Structure 1
Amino acid sequence: MELDEDILTGLRREVEEETGLQVTPTALTGVYKNMPRGIVALVFRCRAEAGSLRESDESSAFRWVTAEEVAKLADEAFAIRVQDALAQHLTAPIRQHDGLRILG
């Protein structure tokens, strides 16, 4: 995010830059901290409103996968974000990871 951007404006801009889609956030689905790097990621479920998928400098391909398939495609620290977004938690999970694995 840019220093002067609010969270939702930054989210919308990043998604459009990386995917070509214009989205509306519908729920915060998790908060994740990379402990070694000190980076906090807020993950949102979004509804696509306009645009079409396209590759960018930060994305090279797109495809639909199940929650089980994502566990085979990504490290645990990233797969859990998709799995949490698909789950129906009462509150957004807050998790820590080391860049590869969930801690604690």
Structure 2
Amino acid sequence: MATDPNEPPRHSVSVAAAILDDQGRFLVIRRADNGNWEPPGGVLELDESITDGLVREVHEETGLDIRPLALTGVYKNMIRGIVALVFRCDVIAGTARASDEAAEVDWLRPEELMRRMSDAYSARLLDALTLDLRPAVRAHDGIRISP
């Protein structure tokens, strides 16, 4: 993609939640706009903090109130210029439900993730299984993780 050398680079920052239940399953949503399965989350507003945006997005999409625990990964879509921050989160209130933004919600075991979502999204959840204070840092093309 060609860019104007006089135009500053533009990136979008998104946030997503890796939420595990007591059976070791991840909460995922099927997006209403494109039908893709992803972790709940979305784009930060300019005037909100990272964690406030994460809490807002997850609530809008799933009805859940969450508490971010730890940053588990940073992912850049090299095609679209989107930087995604993924956090392991606990549910503090609510029951997961579909919404205008999430056509469906489901709880998937780690081995089920690859069947429902692309590498670029399943890696975000699988990376969250390790809470060792070293977040994963990865690049992808929107579908596949770059080597």
TM-score bracket relative to the smaller structure = over 0.9
1:5-45 residue CA offsets vs partner (Å, 9 max, x unmatched): 01011111111001100100001110000000000000011
Which blocks of at least 5 consecutive residues in structure 1 are unaligned? none
What amino acid sits opposite 1:38 in the alignment?
Answer: G
Larger radius of gyration: 2
TM-score normalised by L of structure 2:
0.67
* 8 Å CA contact retained: 1:15, 1:21: yes
Answering whether residue 34 of structure 2 is matched by residue 34 of structure 1, we say: no
TM-score normalised by L of structure 1:
0.93
The structure with the largest strand share of the pair is 2
Corresponding residue of 1:69: 112
* Structure 1 position 61, deviation (Å): 1.6
What amino acid sits opposite 1:101 in the alignment?
Answer: R
* Structure 1 position 100, deviation (Å): 0.3
CA distance in 2, matches of 1:16, 1:77: 23
CA distance in 2, matches of 1:79, 1:39: 17
Q: Secondary structure at the match of 1:61?
A: strand
Residue 17 of structure 1 is aligned with which of 44, 50, 60? 60
Q: Secondary structure at the match of 2:106?
A: coil
Residue 86 of structure 2 is aligned with which of 14, 22, 43? 43
Q: Secondary structure at the match of 1:47?
A: strand
Q: Secondary structure at the match of 2:112?
A: helix
* Structure 1 position 90, deviation (Å): 4.2
Query: What CA RMSD, in Å, does the superposition of the two structures yield over aligned residues?
Result: 1.2
Q: Secondary structure at the match of 1:60?
A: strand
Corresponding residue of 2:146: 103
1:37-80 residue CA offsets vs partner (Å, 9 max, x unmatched): 00000001111111221211221222221111101111111110
Number of equivalences: 104
* 8 Å CA contact retained: 1:18, 1:59: yes
Which blocks of at least 5 consecutive residues in structure 2 are unaligned? 1-43
